[in-house]
C-alpha cells in the first residue's frame, strides 16, 4: 500500500498525524507546502492525501485540483479552520472526500483517514477485478468442463465452493466468476483465512468499532463491507476457526452481521465464493468444520483438476508463462526443445500450475541459451525424475471435473500432493533479485541458492504458522524435501501437521 501524504505548513499537525498513523501501522510521507506535494506527484502518488487548506504559496485547494485532475481515485481530506464554512464548501465542490475542522480530535482524524483508505482500496479492487484478471488457459476436457461451469454460474448469485489442490487455479477461477457476473463493476475482495492470525480474523472479516479491543483506535470496515455489491473470496475456508464459522454461517443465512464491538446490524450484499484444498467432508467428520456451514457453502461445487490430471495442458501453459516472464524481465521468451517439453509433460507437479509458473520463471533467468534442453532444467528436477519409479506414478483421481457434483460428494478429490521436484519454486521477484545480484557479483551464485531456500522456507512457515506440510504445499515441494531442507539449513520453528 502506498503512504498517506500529510501536507501542512504547521509542523505540530504533521507530527501529531504522523505519530497517530504510525500507531496504526500506516506509513506516511509529509510535506510542508502544497508546492512540494505537487512536485512529488510527478514521481509517485499517495493512497490518501490529507492537506491543510491555507498555506503560504499554493493552497490546499490548488493541490486538490491537481490531484483530482490526474488521479481522481485518490481520496483527499482537507483541513480547514473551525469556522471556515466557505472553504469546506469549496473543498467538497473540488471533489474532496471529507473535511476536517481545526482543532480536531486526533482519533476522529485517524478514523476519517481509515475510511478514506478503505474507499481507495475498494477502488483498486474494482479496477483489478474488471481489467486485470489473468486469462485461464486450458484445452484438456476437464478444463473445458470448468469453463462451461464458469459460464453457467457467472450470471447467478449462488455461493460456490471451489475445491482443488494448492496452486491449481482456484483464485483465478473465483476472479473469473466475478468478472463475468453482473457484479463485475463492484469490488472483488479476497481473504486467505489461513494467512491471518486467528485473533485478527474476526475483525478482518466483519470490521470493528472504535475501542472494540485494545489497539482499536478507530472504526474499521471489514472485508464484508469492502466487498459490498461485489464478491468476497474466502480462500482456505477449511482452516477457519469454529467460532468464526458460526458467525459466517449467520451472515450467509440471514445476510446481516455486526462489526466487532458494534450493536448496529449491517446488511451484507455480497456473493461469497469459498475455496479449499482440504477435504471438507473429513474436516466435518473430525469435528473441525461445521456441518451446516458445509452444506451452506456446498450448494455448487466446482472441482479444479490437478495439473497431473491435465498434462496435455502443460505445453500451452509453459509457453504462456515463458512469454510472460520474458516480457516482465524485458528479455526474449525462451523455448523448450521437444524433448524438454515432453519431459515436463511427464512431471507430477505437486504444486500444480503455480509450480509450473515458477519453473518457467526460473528457466527464463537461469537456463543458458534460447532453446532449453533437459540438461538445462533445474538439477533436482532432473535427478528426482531420473530416480522416480518408471513408469510415472499412477494417478488415482479420475480426469472428469467440475460441476455440479452432487452436494456432499467430493468424488475424485485428490488429497495431499505426492513428493515432487523442488528446485523450481522461486518466485519471479526472488529470481529477479537473484539475477540482479548474480550479474553484479557472480561469486554469490554459489551461496545464493541456500540463502534463498532458507529465506523462502521461513516465509512459507510464517504464513502457515509453522505448519511444515502446509508450507511444503505452498512452496510446491514435497514433504520429505521440506523436512530435509529444514534440517540441512538449520531452520527452527517448524512443526509437523
Ligand X SMILES: Nc1ncnc2c1ncn2[C@@H]1O[C@H](COP(=O)(O)OP(=O)(O)OP(=O)(O)O)[C@@H](O)[C@H]1O
Q: Which residues bind ligand X (CB under 6 A)?
A: 134, 136-138, 164, 166-172, 235, 277, 317, 353-354, 357
Least CB distance from residue 453 to ligand X, whole Å?
19
Nearer to ligand X, 202 or 313 (CB): 313
Compare residues 354 and 479 and give the one whose CB is closer to ligand X.
Answer: 354
**What are the residues whose beta carbons fall under 8 Å from the beta carbon of 355, sequence distance 6 or more?**
167, 307, 349, 420, 421, 424, 425, 476
Shortest CB 164 distance to ligand X, Å: 6
Helix (H, G, I), strand (E, B) or coil at 129: helix
What gap in Å lies between CA 314 and CA 118, rounded to an integer?
A: 39
- Relative orientation angle of helices 242-254 and 198-206, to the nearest 10 degrees: 10
| 118 vs 236, beta carbon nearer ligand X | 236
| Cα separation of the two ends of the chain | 33
State how far Cα 411 lies from the chain centre.
Answer: 29
Distances (CA, A) of 19 to 6, 214, 396, 452: 12, 17, 58, 35
Asked if 113 and 50 touch (Cβ cutoff 8 Å), the reply is: yes
Nearer to ligand X, 163 or 226 (CB): 163
Peptide bond before 103: cis, by omega within 30 degrees of 0?
yes
CB-based contacts of 323: which residues, under 8 Å, 6+ apart?
333
**Minimal distance in Å, beta carbon 134 to ligand X?**
5
Which CB atom, from 163 or from 186, has the smaller least distance to ligand X?
Answer: 163
Q: How far apart are CA 397 and CA 202, in angstroms?
A: 36
Residue whose beta carbon is closest to ligand X: 169
Nearer to ligand X by C-beta: 97 or 425? Answer: 425
Residue 17 CB, nearest approach to ligand X (Å): 37
Q: Give least dist CB 172 to ligand X, A.
A: 4
CB atoms within 10 A of CB 418: 15
**Please, what is the minimum distance in Å from the beta carbon of residue 171 to ligand X?**
4
In the complex, the smallest distance separating the C-beta of residue 474 from ligand X, rounded to whole angstroms, is 6
Give whichever of 110 and 275 is closer to ligand X, judged by the CB atom. 275
Amino acid at each position: 500500500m502506498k503512504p498517506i501524504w500529510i501536507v501542512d505548513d504547521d509542523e505540530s499537525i504533521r507530527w501529531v498525524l504522523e505519530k497517530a498513523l504510525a500507531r496504526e501501522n500506516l506509513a506516511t510521507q509529509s510535506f510542508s507546502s502544497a508546492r512540494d506535494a505537487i512536485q512529488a506527484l510527478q514521481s509517485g502518488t499517495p493512497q490518501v492525501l490529507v492537506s491543510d487548506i491555507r498555506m503560504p504559496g499554493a493552497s490546499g485547494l490548488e493541490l486538490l485540483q491537481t490531484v483530482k485532475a490526474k488521479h481522481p481515485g485518490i481520496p483527499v481530506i482537507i483541513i480547514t479552520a473551525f469556522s471556515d464554512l466557505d472553504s469546506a464548501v469549496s473543498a467538497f465542490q473540488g471533489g474532496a472526500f471529507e473535511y476536517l475542522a481545526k482543532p480536531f480530535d486526533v482519533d476522529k482524524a485517524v478514523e476519517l483517514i481509515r475510511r478514506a483508505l478503505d474507499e481507495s482500496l475498494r477502488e483498486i479492487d474494482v479496477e483489478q477485478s474488471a481489467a486485470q484478471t489473468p486469462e485461464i488457459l486450458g484445452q484438456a476436457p476437464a478444463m473445458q468442463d470448468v469453463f462451461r461451469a464458469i459460464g453457467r454460474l457467472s450470471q447467478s448469485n449462488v455461493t460456490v465452493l471451489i475445491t482443488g489442490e494448492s496452486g491449481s487455479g482456484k483464485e483465478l477461477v473465483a476472479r473469473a466468476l466475478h468478472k463475468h457476473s453482473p457484479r463485475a463493476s463492484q469490488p472483488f475482495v479476497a481473504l486467505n483465512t489461513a494467512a491471518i492470525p486467528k485473533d485478527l480474523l474476526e475483525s478482518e472479516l466483519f470490521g470493528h468499532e472504535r475501542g472494540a479491543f485494545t489497539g482499536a483506535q478507530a472504526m474499521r470496515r471489514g472485508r464484508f463491507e469492502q466487498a459490498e455489491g461485489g464478491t468476497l473470496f474466502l480462500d482456505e475456508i477449511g482452516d477457519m476457526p469454529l467460532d468464526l464459522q458460526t458467525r459466517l454461517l449467520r451472515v450467509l443465512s440471514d445476510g446481516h452481521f455486526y462489526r466487532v464491538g458494534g450493536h448496529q446490524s449491517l446488511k451484507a450484499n455480497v456473493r461469497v465464493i469459498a475455496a479449499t484444498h482440504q477435504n471438507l467432508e473429513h474436516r466435518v467428520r473430525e469435528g473441525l468444520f461445521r456441518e451446516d456451514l458445509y452444506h451452506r457453502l456446498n450448494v455448487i461445487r466446482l472441482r479444479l483438476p490437478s495439473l497431473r490430471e491435465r498434462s496435455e495442458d502443460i505445453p500451452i501453459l509453459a509457453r504462456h508463462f515463458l512469454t510472460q516472464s520474458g516480457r516482465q524481465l524485458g528479455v526474449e521468451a525462451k523455448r523448450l526443445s521437444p524433448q524438454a517439453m515432453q519431459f515436463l509433460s511427464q512431471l507430477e507437479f505437486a504444486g500444480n500450475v503455480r509450480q509450473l509458473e515458477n519453473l518457467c520463471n526460473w528457466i527464463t533467468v537461469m537456463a543458458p541459451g534460447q532453446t532449453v534442453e533437459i540438461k538445462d532444467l533445474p538439477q533436482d528436477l532432473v535427478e528426482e525424475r531420473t530416480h522416480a519409479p518408471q513408469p510415472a506414478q499412477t494417478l488415482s483421481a479420475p480426469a472428469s471435473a467440475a460441476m455440479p457434483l452432487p452436494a456432499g460428494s467430493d468424488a475424485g478429490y485428490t488429497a495431499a500432493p505426492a513428493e515432487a521436484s523442488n528446485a523450481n519454486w522461486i518466485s519471479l521477484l526472488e529470481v529477479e533479485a537473484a539475477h540482479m545480484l548474480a550479474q553484479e557479483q557472480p561469486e554469490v551464485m554459489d551461496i545464493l541458492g541456500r540463502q534463498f531456500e532458507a529465506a523462502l522456507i521461513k516465509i512459507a512457515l510464517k504464513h502457515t504458522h509453522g505448519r511444515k506440510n502446509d508450507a511444503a504445499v505452498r512452496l510446491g515441494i514435497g514433504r520429505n524435501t521440506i523436512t530435509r531442507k529444514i534440517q540441512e539449513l538449520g531452520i527452527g520453528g517448524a512443526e509437523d501437521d
